[in-house]
């Protein structure tokens, strides 16, 4: 099947991307690790001893980074609808976060213990139609926010991928009602043309 002009453009951009090259050189699973690395370096998110949940984890770059930062002291639980190769120091679960069965499996892995940090890099399969993609993306962000209720330690943090557009301001207001501080972050590894913005919510009010 011949490649479309847009797919050829994406491939050219992908393989010339300095973050893709750096990820390959360092053996990281994806370029996305540099997004978390930059935010963590600025905001000091990850500390030994934490219990971390990584939503939308595949192929595992963020979980891999978290496990390395924890240095064997703490716990990382990764969930994605896609299969993921095992990672040292990470409990890997496969399931659709929008379904009750996946959530039950995640709660079972937590064993009733509270979480210190929730990371969500979830995004829908994009159709290219903003009127369809934006609501799907915001739903995933809203579900990640709902997940913290009853699970996140008081004073805990949430980092969630969002997309600017319809529903963004409502989500931001909701987060400000549940956390002491909320910051927006646009890491260097986020492509310029992307509408993605990460919202970092600090100090859960429970």
Annotated binding residues for S-adenosyl-L-methionine, written as ranges, equal 60, 62, 80, 96, 121
Question: Any bridge partners for residue 80, and if so which?
Answer: 94
Q: Report the binding-site residues.
A: 60, 62, 80, 96, 121
- Cβ-in-10-Å burial (0-12, 13-18, 19+) of 58 comes to buried
Question: Which residue in this structure is represented by tokens 């978390």?
Answer: 36
Q: Residue 123: helix, strand or coil by DSSP?
A: coil
- Please identify which of the residues 26, 35, 161, 186 carries the catalytic annotation: 161
Q: Is 161 a catalytic residue?
A: yes
- The token pair at 186 is 């646009």
Q: Are 85 and 98 in contact (CB under 8 A)?
A: no
Which residue numbers are catalytic?
A: 161
């Amino acid at each position: 099947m011949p490649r479309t002009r847009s797919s050829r453009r994406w491939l050219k951009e992908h393989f010339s991307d300095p973050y893709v090259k750096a990820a390959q050189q360092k053996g990281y699973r994806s370029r996305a690790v540099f997004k978390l690395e930059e935010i963590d370096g600025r905001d000091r998110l990850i500390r030994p001893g934490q219990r971390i949940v990584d939503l939308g984890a595949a192929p595992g770059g963020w979980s891999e980074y978290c496990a390395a930062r924890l240095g064997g002291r703490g716990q990382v639980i990764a969930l994605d609808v896609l299969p993921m190769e095992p990672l040292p120091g990470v409990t890997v679960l496969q399931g659709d976060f929008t379904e009750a069965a996946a959530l039950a499996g995640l709660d079972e892995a937590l064993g009733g213990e509270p979480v210190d940090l929730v990371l969500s890099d979830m995004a829908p399969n994009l159709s290219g139609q903003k009127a369809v993609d934006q609501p799907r993306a915001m739903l995933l962000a809203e579900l990640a926010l709902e997940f913290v209720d009853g699970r996140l330690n008081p004073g805990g943090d949430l980092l969630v991928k969002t997309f600017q557009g319809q529903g963004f301001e409502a989500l931001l207001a909701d987060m400000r009602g549940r956390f002491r501080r909320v910051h927006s972050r646009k890491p260097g590894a986020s492509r310029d043309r992307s509408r993605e913005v990460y919202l970092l919510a600090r100090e859960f009010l429970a």
